[in-house]
Chains A and B, each alone.
Chain A
Amino acid sequence: MNDHANTTDSAIAPASTRRPSRKGLGWIALAIAPIVLSGCQIPGFGINEGVTESSHKVYKLWQGFMVTGLIVGGFTFLLIVYAAIRYRRRNNEIPRQTQYNTLVEVLYTVIPTIIVAGLFYFTIVVENPEVAVIKNPPAKVKVVAFQWGWRFSYPENPKVNIVGQTTENPELIMPVGETIQVDLSSLDVVHGFYIKEFSFSQYAQPGVVNKFDFKVDKVGEFQTQCTQMCGLYHSLMYFKVKTIPASDYHQCLTSSNSGDEFVACANKTTPALYHRNTATQGATVHHG
Chain B
Amino acid sequence: MKFEARLLIWLGVFIGIMGIVYGVWSKEWGGTAMLIGTGILGIFPGLYYRWWSKRIGERPEDRDATMAEGAGRIDTFPGSSIWPFALGMGCWALVLALVFGTWFAVIGLPLVIFAVSGATAESRRGGDASGH
Do A and B touch directly, given a CB cutoff of 8 Å in the complex? no
